[in-house]
Amino acid sequence: MGLIRFSANTIRNLSLTFVGLVVLYTIAGFFVVPMIAKNEIQKHVAERLGAKPEIKKIKFHPFTFEAAIEGFSLPEPGGKGTRPRLQFDVFYVNLSIWHLLKKEIYLSEVRIKHADGQFTILKNGETNWEIKELPSDKKAEGKKDDKGSDWLLFIEHIKISNSKLNFQDETHNTPLSLPLGPVSLSASDISTHLDSETSINSLAIDVGEKGHVKVSGSMTPKPFSADLNLDMAEIPLEFLTAYLSDKTYLVLQQGSTDIKGKLRYQKGNIIFNGDSNIHDLVLNQAEVEQPVVTWKRLDLKKIEVQTSPMSVKVDEAILKELDTEIILRKDGTLNYRTVLRNPPPLPKAKSNTAPANKKAVVAKETAEKKPAFDFNVGKLTLIDSQLDYADEQIRPNFRAHVHGINGTIEPISPDPQQKINVAIAGAVEDYGKFQGKGYYIPGVKYPSLNLDMSFHNIEMTTFTPYAGVFAGYEIKKGKLFLDFNYVLVNHRIKGKNQVLLDQFELGNKIESDKAPHWPLKLALALMKDRKGQIKFKLPVEGDVNSPSFSWGNLVWTAIKNMFVNILAAPFDFLSSAFGGGEDLQTVFFEPGAASLTTNESAKILNLAKALNERPNLSLEIKGQYQNSDIATLQEEEYDARLQAELKKANGNRDHAVVNLAKQTMKSEELNKYIADYKTAHAGSDKDIAVELEKKVQPLIQVSDDKLKDLAMERGRAVMTALIAQKIPAERLFLLAGSKSDDEKEPHTLLTLKEQ
């Protein structure tokens, strides 16, 4: 077969045709295609996104298949707003034409420069990027490639530089505005192929003035998975105010976070491992100047988070310089309740009614205790933190400043059987100190607790508001030293309180309906020793499941009972405090006597010891006389008069008795008595003197002055004995003597008073 030969004219015509086609192709590629592309892009974008974009220029190179859109600007839907929804200076792609034959869209390079996007979630939940559905979409749904295969997309390299994104969310009470940028991205090997792996070489986003995000790693499309390295620093947290505003009136005034770690996604599970911190946080309540919470830094070490199942684990949380305030409002609620937009109802009082179905109640309580997700903090460490407490229910308001708080709580877990160990120490006001150590177990059925705490050198004047209301006095001065242990087992709480009040003094009287009508100063004088210290132990016990249980009632009831017992029997209190077990309130005497017996002298020694140890007590001494004293004094007076008559009668007792009877009895009465006696004894007056003595002696008169003098002498005897034991006379008060109404042995009655 011979070769086909073309004439020169044919070759020339073919060449001209080829050149013409090339020229036409070139003209079409450089000029016609951009024009058509511009119109089509504007048309389709307008149909889908509700606004026609402005495009300054589209470039297309028909030989290298490079294309670029320059000066793109897409307004908000309907042309609303002053800021474009999306704009960029350059969007460049380099398409490999030959891959189209394999049904692949292969872009060797994609570049985006100076993009600026706006993404807004509107109040109705829609976004400014809602894509409209066209009638042609439904027709195209059923159409597939005749071989049933999909096109693949492959981007060899993409680069985004000097770009920005502003995210807004108007669905919150406080709208969210989060500007991000500049944003830069470098990624390679992006593909929809199942086996492909995208490499994110670097993603950098600036947030705020100082914040930045750096991401690197890899992703696969189907099934979607990601393995990313995350490095976030100085990310401002003020934008979280929008989310807080949905439920609260809180404003995150200041705060930044750093996060560094590895973020993975696989089979619907998001996993993060790394470290984080939140520093310089200031959380305010709207329109309130005083911050609700501030802290210098919260470090979260070795974080492990996953979403399926949801769990959060932190090896250690270190909170530095926490500063917050707890205020008990006039209505009995805490200040934290006022930050909630819709606070839950206040808890109802506990009911005494037994549940109808105890098992159902236990099951319900167990279900309520089950946390929404698993969490565990290995250790919470507090460093140099402080707390201000105020009670506005008291007038004047009570305020206390607790600072320098350092300690640990470990671990923190929802496991009801987990033993939580606590160790904490700090300062109260200027010079007070406190520390504590113990553990708490929530328990499935009953919690358990064992806690030791101590508060030392606490200024008692701080508690003047409470003292005014519940005691009826100001606190003039004093320091508190308190050590206690509380143990909770099977809903029974037992407490041991060791209390020392140093140089404690009450001040002015304050009228209060809640104050008991006790001689409180006397009780304190009974308790205060010569060093100016009041020491006592205060055991408490109660049932935490009781409807009336509260910590305040538990302690206050114990204090009231202690004072009531002391004031009801002050001498018994002194006797038990200093031994002896005697009745120190009364000093007994022999009938008619004013001198101390041996036993009563020993009692005076014990009383003097107690008074020496209680220098704020004074003693009132009231001498008394009884009927037994009158009989004794009558006998003594009778004997004295009888002796005088015996001398006159030369020792004749019968004559002396009769003469004494004549002085004591009326003559008619005496004559009748003698006559009656003789009649009863057959006319004999033998032994009449013996019987007459029994008649005469009770008729001897003892003057009131003599009896009162006896009582006074008894009081002086007690007073003298106490002064001999170094009790200052200024503390002893001798009262006028009087007759006692009781039938006790003759005695002197003592009464304690505060100085």
Token pair listed for 461 = 């004047």
Q: Which of 222, 251, 269 is the last residue of a domain?
A: 222
In the prediction, which pLDDT does 422 show? 97
Tell me, yes or no, whether 254 and 378 share the same domain: yes
Report the pLDDT value the prediction gives residue 356, as an integer from 0 to 100.
47
Q: Binning pLDDT at 50, 70 and 90, where does residue 335 land? A: confident
Residue-level pLDDT at 352: 46
CB atoms within 10 A of CB 644: 12
Are both 435 and 537 inside the same structural domain? yes
How many DSSP H helices and E strands does the chain contain? 15, 28
- Count of domains for the chain: 5
Residue 147 lies in a domain: no
Look at residue 5 and tell me whether its pLDDT is greater than 70. Answer: no
Phi, psi of 345 (to 5 degrees): -65, 150
Has residue 322 been placed in a domain?
yes
- In this structure, is residue 409 part of a structural domain? no
Q: Answer yes or no: do 269 and 161 share one domain.
A: no
Cβ–Cβ < 8 Å for 75, 84: yes
Model pLDDT for residues 204-220, shown as the tens digit of each residue? 999 999 999 999 999 99
Q: What's the mean pLDDT in 81-90?
A: 90
pLDDT of 571 over the 50 cut: yes
Mean pLDDT computed over 44-53: 90
Where do the H-state alpha helices sit in 370-486?
Answer: 464-470
Band of pLDDT at residue 362, cut at 50, 70 and 90:
very low
* Residues 378 and 251 placed together within one structural domain of the fold: yes
Edge-to-edge order in the sheet of strand 732-739: 586-588, 747-754, 617-625, 732-739
Short-list 504, 505, 556, CA closest to 535: 504
Summarised one tens digit per residue, pLDDT across range 97-146 is 888 888 888 999 999 999 999 999 999 999 999 888 877 666 655 555 44
- Global pTM reads 0.81
**Residue 87 host element (H or E):** strand 86-96
Does the residue 19 lie in any domain? Answer: no
Boundary of a domain, candidates 196, 222, 248: 222
Rg of the Cα atoms in the chain = 51
User: DSSP character for 59?
Assistant: E
Provide the percentage of residues in the chain whose pLDDT is more than 70: 92
Q: Rounded to whole angstroms, how far apart are CA atoms 571 and 573?
A: 5
Tell me the two tokens of residue 125: 């939940």
Q: Give 73-83 pLDDT, tens digit per residue.
A: 999 987 777 78
Q: Which helix (H) or strand (E) holds 116?
A: strand 116-121
Q: Are residue 545 and residue 676 in the same domain, yes or no?
A: no
Q: Per-residue confidence at 358, pLDDT binned at 50, 70, 90?
A: very low
Do 534 and 607 belong to one domain?
Answer: no
Cis bond before residue 447 (omega within 30° of 0): no
What SS3 class is residue 238? helix
Which H/E stretch holds residue 575?
helix 570-578
Token pair recorded at residue 639: 């004997």
Whether 385 is covered by a domain: the verdict is yes
Instruction: Write down the H helix ranges in 184-332.
Output: 241-244
- Residue 724 sits in a domain of what CATH number? 3.30.1330.60
What is the secondary structure of 680-711 as a DSSP string?
HTTT--TTHHHHHHHHHGGG----HHHHHHHH
- Residue 475 resides in a domain: yes
Q: Is residue 82 part of a domain?
A: yes
Domain that holds residue 57: 28-128+152-222
Of the pLDDT bands very low, low, confident and very high (cuts 50, 70, 90), residue 287 is: confident
- pLDDT at position 24 is 82
Helix H or strand E segment including 644: helix 627-648
- Please, which residues bridge with residue 627 across strands? none
3-state class of 208 per DSSP?
Answer: coil
Give the per-residue pLDDT at 305. Answer: 96
Note whether 603 and 711 are same-domain residues: yes
Q: Are residues 523 and 635 in the same domain?
A: no
Mean pLDDT on 356-370 = 50
pLDDT, tens digit, 9 for 90 and up, residues 669-700: 777 777 767 777 766 666 677 777 777 777 77
Highest mean pLDDT among 15-24, 307-316, 440-449: 307-316
Residue 445, pLDDT score? 86
Domain-located, residue 135: no
Amino acid letter, 266: Q
Same domain for 542 and 457: yes
Q: Are residues 57 and 181 in the same domain?
A: yes
Same domain, 307 and 400: yes
Determine the pLDDT at residue 245: 93
Do both 452 and 549 map to the same domain?
yes
Q: Which of 194, 222, 250 is the last residue of a domain?
A: 222
Residue 78 burial (10 A CB sphere; 0-12, 13-18, 19+): exposed
